[in-house]
Amino acid sequence: MIEDILSKIARQIMALNEETLTALLPRYKERMLDFAPTSAWEEAVVIYFLINGLRIKNSQFNDKIKEYMSGGEHAERGGPHVRPRLRLVKHVQEVAEELSRDSGTDPDGGRKE
């Protein structure tokens, strides 16, 4: 029950525009620093930390995405948006020579005599 409520609050907060929330941050910081034993003060503290929590979440998310896309430590997991790292195992000429030995042709495709 409580976890469901917290999840709902998180989804609602994440749906809000970060820039708009960030613009409100100084207002709630002021209210938080101006202590008064009221429910309005308590609410201001919670709102301030909710906004900061969203900002930190977005910052970490962006950093992790950049790391993931640039081939950082988690890139080995692969994923739909990450190009595989390819490396040349054999030169084309080496492959052609191997094929010619196996098939009895020269590397240019002609028959050996």
With helix as H, strand as E and coil as C, how does 34-85 read?
Answer: CCCCCHHHHHHHHHHHHHHHHHHHHHHHHHHHHHHHCCCCCHHHCCCCCCCC
Separation in Å, CA 21 to CA 41, 59, 99: 18, 14, 65
Q: What gap in Å lies between CA 68 and CA 6, rounded to an integer?
A: 29
* Domain extent for 24: 2-75
Residue 91 falls inside a structural domain:
no
Residue 113 falls inside a structural domain:
no
Per-residue burial over 62-99, b if 16 or more Cβ lie within 10 Å, else e, is eeeeeebeeeeeebeeeeeeeeeeeeeeeeeeeebeee
Q: Is the pTM of this model over 0.95?
A: no
Most confidently modeled of 38-42, 51-55, 75-79, 92-96? 38-42
Residue 100 falls inside a structural domain:
no
- Mean residue pLDDT of the chain comes to 80
Q: What is the pLDDT of residues 48-86, one digit of tens each?
A: 999 988 888 888 888 888 888 877 555 555 555 556 666
Residue 32 falls inside a structural domain:
yes
Residue 69 falls inside a structural domain:
yes
Residue 44 falls inside a structural domain:
yes
Q: What gap in Å lies between CA 8 and CA 77, rounded to an integer?
A: 30
Q: What gap in Å lies between CA 33 and CA 84, rounded to an integer?
A: 51
> pLDDT band for position 95 (50/70/90)?
confident
Counted domains in the chain: 1
Residue 90 falls inside a structural domain:
no
Residue 34 falls inside a structural domain:
yes
